[in-house]
Structures are given as structure tokens and as C-alpha cells.
Chain A
Amino acid sequence: MELNEKGLGRDQLAYARVLAVITHAGLALLVVLFGAYVLGLLDPHVPHHRLPDLWKLPAGQFLEATGMAPGWGWTALLHRADILTLVGIAALAFASVPCLAVIMPVYWRARRMSLLVICALEIGVIVLAASGLVTGGH
């Protein structure tokens, strides 16, 4: 694989470019959505004043007490400010997947099949974790 004057390959530079765009967008989204939540611009699913009683509970009991489902159940409540904020968090937790997807063609063209497989497996691990299939989220 060709390297530039800094000794960097096209894979690394492409990953860095995509990561910069997605991370900045994800953080901006998170701040905007949280601002809407904390300022009360949208109604939350769990009222602010109830939080001090609820955040002492384990996560499972918190879900029961608030009538929320584990796994992707939160997506049914996206019209609520606190739940909508989770979109920003999910964007950050998913940020690496497009970066990995972008460098896979670079490895394909360079015939670096081992790295191509590692990228595919890493995407598989993140998607598997997100799916909730192995973690009992569904």
C-alpha cells in the first residue's frame, strides 16, 4: 500500500476524514438534543423531578419503573425529549461503522484480504452488540 510523506496509508487518511465528519456531527446533535431536553422544549418520558428517585435504581428496575422496554424499545418513544437524546448517543456508538466501511474498498484494491476480513468482523461485532441479540436486549 502506498504511503504519503508522513508514512500514512490511504486507509488511515480515509478513516480519519470520515471519523472527523461523523464525530463532529454526532457531538453537535447530542448537544442540541440534550439542550432541548434539559430546557424543556419537548416533554420528556420521565419528568425531570422524578429522576433523583429513579437514578438510584439498577437499570433493569429503572426500565420497569418508567415503563420502558429494553433493547430497541426506546425507539418507540422518540417523540419524548429524553429518549430523543439517545439518538445522539447511538450516533456516537455507531460512528466507527461507516469509517470501517469506507476503508474496506481500499484494502480490497490493495489485496489486503486479512485487513478486509478484520474490518468486516469489527463491523459485525458492533452490529451484533447493537442488535441486542447476544446481550438479552430483545
Chain B
Amino acid sequence: MHTPSRSRFLRLALLLGFTLALPDAFAADPAAGDFAMPWWGWPIALFAVCFLLGIIAVPAGVGGGVLFVPIVGGFFPFHLDFVRGAGLLVALASALSAGPSLLSGGLASLRLALPLALVASASSILGAMIGFALPTHVVQTALGATILAIVVLMASAKKSEYPSVPAPDALSAALGMNGILVEAGTGRQVPWHVHRTPQGLAVFFVIGILAGLFGLGAGWANLPALNLLMGAPLKVSAGTSSFILSLVDSSAAWVYLNKGAVLPMIAVPSVIGMMLGAKIGARLLRVLPAAAIRKLVLGLLAFAGLRALLKGLGVWN
């Protein structure tokens, strides 16, 4: 027997599948000819897909950017340059919007974020430049391989509410990368600090390259780096991860703007759709089955990653 939440989940999955299939059907069929979608159909379809992606991104615990690039890149007729540019803006706008409440609520730490964001934002410029220098099929293939690796990482990565950090390292102590987390329910104050800062900076350098190269929001990598590697509490890691994106994606976004890879007709409906969807997703957090949604998202990402990989290899165009 279907429970209400399962039936809601099935309806959402069907709606998402149908919405994704529509643009691909119009774009992939060269015989569509006179029946090809008019120009205004594309931003509407994009808005609808991003709205649904925004709804499922919140309960699945992923950022919109990582869903946007492989899915829109795989199923819409836009060149990957424009999809990567729009993906960066989707991630940037979401991170900027969430930033004030995360910072003023103590769920993001400015002083933890600043050094890491500096390294990642500099390397994101490098990543974006690499992305424009490489042939599209190479970027597409690398994107597919990266998305499949992200699926494995997301499915297997552990989390730790309060990781054990015996002592801060010298660099994090000098930079004041510590704080106090006030638990919402109990009001308990939990002091925290981090360690392995040099290793963290090295990891964020690589994260920045990937963010700039593919236009992905990099929350999927920021969170485990902050939580498991550097030992920040899980809530601080999640909030700071989102805040870091607002700085990293700013510098990469300028590279895409300078290269002419930001098309308002693609970027703006995506940003608006994703942000409205995320608001609905946050409201539905209690009624949607989060575990099932997460499985749906991982399945969707695996499919989109495989599509990107095969498209890049010229197997499935």
C-alpha cells in the first residue's frame, strides 16, 4: 500500500522525468522541423526544470549547481559554455541569498571561510580558463566522469556532528579559524576549532579549479573537506560551505562574463526557477521523504553524469 509521502514522491519523480524528457525530445529530433519549440518555450522549460530541481535539492542536501550543469547540459540544446556559465550563476545566487541568514545565525563562520575562499576563488579563475582552453568534448567527458565520482562520494561519505580536534594547528590559530556554535534546541555553547589547515587549503585549491572548470557549485566537496578533513562541526561546515561558494563563484562568474558565456535568456530563468524551487523545497522538508529524494537525486545525477560522459565520448549525442 502506498503511503501519502511515497505517492507524493512518485508523483514528483514522474513529473521530473516528464519535464526532463520534453526538451530532449524537441532538441534531439532533427526531423522536428516545423514542430521545433519556439524560442520562448526554452526559458519556460528551463524555469520548470530548475523549479523542480530546486524543490528536490533541499531535502536531498545538495546544491542546485551540481544538479543544474549535468542535467541541463545533457538534455537542453544549449552549448556547454552557456550551461556552465548559468550553473555558476545559479550556485552564486543561491549562496548569496543564503549568506546573510547563515552568517547572522552563526551557522557559517566568516573567519573559517575567508582563507579557504581566497585560495579557491583564485584557483577557480584558473579552472574557468582551463575550461575555455579545452575542446568541448574533453570538458564534457571530464564533467561526466566528475559527476559520477560525485555520486560515489555523496553515496559513501560519512559525516560527523562534532569531529574530534585535539588541538588547532598553528595556521588556523593565527587566522582565528574558530568559534562558538550555539545549539538551537538547548542553547548549549560548543566551542570549536579546526586542524589540518594547510591540507585544507590544498584541497580548496582543487575544489576551486573544479568549480571554475565545470560551473558546478562545490558544496559536495566543501562540506566533507570542512567537516571530515578540517574537523569543523557539521552545521558550521554546511553553512560555511555555502558561504564559501558566494566568494569562489564570484571570481569564476567574471571569467564567464568576460568570455561571453553568460546568456541572460538561459541564466536568469534558471536562477529564478532554482531559487523559487528551493523555497518550496525548504517548506516541504517535513513532508517529503528526504531519504527517498536523496536516492532519486543520486540516480538522476548518475544518469546525467553517464549522459555527459557518453556525449563527450561521442557515443550518445
Q: CA of A119 to CA of B247 in the docked complex: distance in angstroms?
A: 11
Among B117, B129, B179, B257, the residue within 8 A (CB) of A7 is B179
The answer to whether B259 touches A89, judged by C-beta atoms less than 8 angstroms apart, is: no
Q: Report chain A residues within 8 Å CB of B251.
A: 125-126, 128-129
B121 on the A face (CB < 8 A): yes
A43 on the B face (CB < 8 A): no
Closest CB of chain B to A81's CB: distance in Å?
9
The answer to whether B100 touches A17, judged by C-beta atoms less than 8 angstroms apart, is: yes
Secondary structure type dominating chain B contacts: helix
B5 on the A face (CB < 8 A): no
Could you say which interface size class chain B belongs to?
35 or more
Q: How many residues of A contact B (CB 8 A)?
A: 68
Taking CB atoms and an 8 Å cut-off, the chain B residues in 47-102 that contact chain A are: 77-79, 81-82, 85, 89, 92-93, 96-97, 99-101
The answer to whether B103 touches A19, judged by C-beta atoms less than 8 angstroms apart, is: yes
The answer to whether A129 touches B39, judged by C-beta atoms less than 8 angstroms apart, is: no
Q: CA of A27 to CA of B253 in the docked complex: distance in angstroms?
A: 15
The answer to whether A48 touches B250, judged by C-beta atoms less than 8 angstroms apart, is: no
The answer to whether B174 touches A114, judged by C-beta atoms less than 8 angstroms apart, is: yes
Closest CB of chain A to B83's CB: distance in Å?
10
Among A11, A112, A121, the residue within 8 A (CB) of B118 is A121
Given A12-B103, A26-B96, A132-B258, also A59-B179 (CB < 8 A): no
Encode B96-137 as 1/0 by CB contact (under 8 A) with A. 110111011110011100110110011001001100100010
The answer to whether A63 touches B254, judged by C-beta atoms less than 8 angstroms apart, is: no
Question: A15-B103, A58-B79, A86-B257 provided; 17 other pairs, C-beta below 8 A?
Answer: A8-B103, A9-B111, A23-B96, A23-B100, A27-B97, A38-B40, A48-B265, A62-B82, A96-B247, A112-B176, A125-B251, A126-B121, A126-B247, A129-B125, A130-B254, A134-B125, A136-B129
Residues of A within 8 A of B (CB): 1, 3, 6-9, 11-13, 15-17, 19-20, 23, 26-27, 30-31, 34, 37-38, 48-49, 51-52, 55-60, 62-63, 68, 70-72, 74, 82, 85-86, 88-90, 92-96, 103, 112, 114-115, 118-119, 121-122, 125-126, 128-130, 132, 134-137
